[in-house]
Amino acid sequence: MKKNLILVLVYFVFFSVSECFADDAVYLAIQETEPSFVEKILSDDNKKNDEESAEQRTEILNEDFIPELKAEKSEKEPLAAEIEYDVLYQTDSLFSKYVTANFENGPIEKITPFFAYQGQFRFDFLDSGYSTKFIEPTAELGVIGKFKNQPIEYKFLINFMPTKGYSYLQSMFKDDFITLKYIPHNDITIGSFRTPIGVEGGVNGYSVPFIARSQISRNFGSVRGVGFKVNGNYSLVEYNLGMTGSGRQWKNMFNGVEFNGWVNLKPLGKTDGKYGVLKIGGGLNAGHNDIDYNVIGAYLSYKYKKFAFESEYAVSHGSNGLSGLTDKRGQGVYTTLSYNITKKLQILARYDIFEKDMTKSGQKDTEYTAGLNYYIKGSALKFMLNYVFCQSDYKPNSNRIILGTQIIL
């Protein structure tokens, strides 16, 4: 026990770094990894076809594509009801069960390497003409695993592709944390991880159904911080609460601290899924980094069999998200509808509006998105097609077609 705790402390001190990815006006969700409040379910048919174990059908609230890292049994929505929804978003890697190394000696019980690649090709139609662009792909390499004789798991992920505005070293490190599972229904994570600034802004991009995140997510959220958080999951409530540094990247690590918290209530959590899954939530991100800032959000989602509805609202008095530190007061809301036509084909649509400065008029951007997703092997092998109509108060309207793919080995 003493040796394991020493290893934990060494791991945290050596690897803990903060992370934030910056991009242009339309951000690619494909660069994100760690989810919050995302069900990872394999359907009955997928289980038969792929001969997956019962362990891989367990919901993992706090990890990405890590079916081997089975959490301690906890109270949650019934598995039989969840499978009925035919959720396609599981992100376990294609070959994880073949490349996992188990150790009889030493403090490490198992290590699973993985590699993830994502890319997109974009067609832009403007009044001034037509253009195409191949967006720089994402290439990531990492390891995940578990300590021996202790409910302690770890993850380390690096990014090979440079990020605009940062040095290669600053953009290299991503998820880098350990997770303690000593308390039933709760996980304590220490290190560098995604903060829950909104539901979509806090989940991994491998599970986001669109190629680009919503505007509130790519402006207010979609960042990482160094610190700790507690994830809890009960039949009627789930939460993600923690404290991190307000710095982003190694550029400015010690400028202040911030609180990050989100709570979802599940009113139908004890109905065995008979009436679907309903979540009602809200959260707060508040901190200091040269200026004080805070973002308040609200969330509503409902899933029933093949149908899903999701809506989220956020308002800021300054923010420190993906678009950078700002003292502007902004607000936005998105609503998404999706339907699983088959167990591999999904159709979806989103209405998304964002006002970047509430103190001025003519600051709104509205995006109308229609999408088609084809899941060959869940999100581990997936093809995406999005059409986006962008309507703006202060720049020319545009039409955009985006082709995307992702593979997690």
Residue 291 has pLDDT above 60, yes or no: yes
Structural domains in the chain, sorted by start: 2-408 (2.40.160.10)
C-alpha 27: how far from its chain's center? 14
Q: Which residue has the higher pLDDT, 133 or 69?
A: 133
Determine the pLDDT at residue 137: 76
Amino acid identity for residue 369 in this structure:
T
What the block records as the tokens of 39 is 């069900």
Task: Report pLDDT for 91.
Answer: 53
Q: What is the pLDDT of residue 380?
A: 86
Tokens, residue 195:
């903060």
pLDDT in tens, 342-353: 989 999 999 999
Residue 230: HSE in the Cβ half-sphere, 13 Å Cα cutoff: 8
What is the rounded CA–CA span in Å between residue 36 and residue 85?
Answer: 19
- Classified as helix, coil or strand, 31 is helix
CB atoms within 10 A of CB 45: 12
**Average predicted confidence (pLDDT) for the chain:** 78
Answer yes or no: are the C-beta atoms of 399 and 388 closer than 8 Å: yes
Q: State residue 204 phi and psi, 5-degree precision.
A: -75, 150
Mean pLDDT: which of 51-55, 284-288, 360-364 is highest? Answer: 284-288
Which of 142, 251, 194 shows the shortest CA–CA distance to 32? Answer: 194
Q: Is the dihedral of CA 89, 95, 98, 102 positive or negative?
A: negative
The pLDDT of 129-136, averaged and rounded, is 77
